[in-house]
Amino acid sequence: MNFTRNDNKIILIDGGLGTTLHEYGLAVFDDPLWSGKALVKEQELLAKVHRDFVQAKCDVILTATYQVTVDNLMNYHHLSNEQAEEIIYNSVKIARNVIDEEKAKCYVAASIGPYGAALSDGSEFNGWYTDSMTIEQFKDWHRPRLAVLARAQPDLIAFETIPSKKEAEALVELLKEFPNGTKTTAHGEPIEEAAASVCLKSPDQIIAVGVNCVHPETVVPLIKQMNKMDRDFIAYPNAGVTWDPKTMTFKNEGRLIAPFIRSYIDAGIKYIGGCCNVNPNQIRTIRDIIDSYSSYL
């Protein structure tokens, strides 16, 4: 389904894929690929999670490729290069098949995490590696996965949890090869500057800018830092949890993000969803909030 911008519609994104797989019984926290483990070993369970999010009436579901790269599949699951590329390609196919089976009006977004996500040590939340890498090195590292996902023809590409301006710029530059706190990035740059920079580099391909996997209370303050942008805004926070890479657990219990949704809509956010520890039941509640709110627009 070809994606088209609609200025009058709030777009609902799915919730935390890895944490929902864990909730459904798959031990993902002990695997460096996290939700990508399901791509290799539990595709039926992955399809069930996708289906539950679709049945929660999401407008967009993300593939299980956030921490998945060709090299990681080869190293951790002992696959050949061809097998690894097929796994990544099939991530889009699995999501698309669920949508088709449900006869749903829903888009597939191919998930691409940062370099730090592949390190499996929480590096995407501070971006420590950024200063030692060049834009060209980032592009070279991201290119193989993006090439496979682009070939699978998702409706959207979701660059997720990018902690630095440099890596964001590299991704946007790379995107050209495939045509068709509350004030800063995790690495410390002003968030308005980072958002403006990537939009200027490829204005025709960037449909929305925003935040993900942040505490739900920080969403509106962060978005307000970008209020001069001529783009739609996107936000899919986690449930207020903090990941501890040493213990491979979440530090706190988290909370529901539903009470924040109206404030997100009032702030002009058009693409809304959830990240870690936001499950299909919560997404279903958010769907109801969006629908009830939209009826008054």
Hey, what amino acid is at 184?
T
List Cα–Cα distances, 96 to 47, 76, 100, 212, in angstroms: 10, 26, 6, 23
State yes or no: 199 annotated in a binding site.
no
State yes or no: 58 annotated in a binding site.
no
State yes or no: 106 annotated in a binding site.
no
Cα–Cα distance between 239 and 149 in angstroms, integer?
Answer: 28
Task: List residues forming the annotated binding site.
Answer: 213, 275-276
Task: List residues forming the annotated binding site for Zn(2+).
Answer: 213, 275-276
